[in-house]
Amino acid sequence: GDTREGWSNSAILRVFYSDDQGKSWRVDQSDPKAEPDKEVVLQEPGIVELKDGRLMMYIRTNGGTQYVRFSSDQGESWTKYEPGNLASPLSPATIERIPWSGDLVAVWNDHSGWHNYPPGKRTPHCLAVSKDEGKTWSKSRVLEGDPDGWYCYTSMTFADDRLILSYCAGDKEVGGLNRLKVLALPREWLEME
């Protein structure tokens, strides 16, 4: 944001929540900065509810991984930010719960080293499943793998026994955000190890 000294890439996140269907809103009471002494970019968070009732927030950062934090009181307060276990460039992840298994599924640009792709790019576009509430993830599977591709901003929904993904799937020719792709994956695809 803008500061008196000029532009800064450091950012803060605030969580606004409502307990009355949006008639009134409150802001969380947590420290909004990731690391006060470092310029960690925090952008485009997502939240998923864990089986024990806690909320897990995952956040796009410039730190080489999605950061995470947790809330045990439905978003009123949050733990400190910490680097998570989804290695990624400055690109958002999407995490949802699979309705038929109760497991978590993540789609993101996997930069863990499982796949040989150039660093810093929004490729490959991968999917992994967690059977332990995000503590660990299966080896990711490549959904899109063009080294010059640009894959991001995934939305996820489940229909019958399929996972439906929509996401930006651009490249040098059309531009990074100028092509939308829809992909349907069968239930069996998510159950493969």
Alpha carbon distance 81, 154 (integer Å)? 23
CATH code, domain carrying 134:
2.120.10.10
Q: In what order do the strands lie in the sheet with 94-97?
A: 94-97, 104-109, 125-130, 141-144
Distance between first and last Cα of the chain: 42
Q: For residue 191, tell me if it sits in a domain.
A: no
Q: Which domain holds residue 38?
A: 2-150
Tell me, what amino acid is at 110?
D
Q: For residue 171, tell me if it sits in a domain.
A: no
Is the pTM value of this prediction over 0.85?
yes
Token digits for 193?
């190890």
Token digits for 167?
């996401």
Cα 43 vs. chain centroid, distance in angstroms? 10
Overall domain count for the chain? 1
Question: What is the b/e burial string over 122-157, where b = at least 16 CB atoms within 10 angstroms of the residue's CB?
Answer: bbbbbbbbbeebbeebbebbebbebeebbbbebebe
Query: Could you read off the pLDDT of 65-121 as tens digits, one per residue?
Result: 999 999 999 999 999 989 999 999 999 999 999 999 999 999 999 999 989 888 889
Q: For residue 106, tell me if it sits in a domain.
A: yes
- The predicted pLDDT at position 191 comes to 87
Q: Share the mean pLDDT of the chain.
A: 91
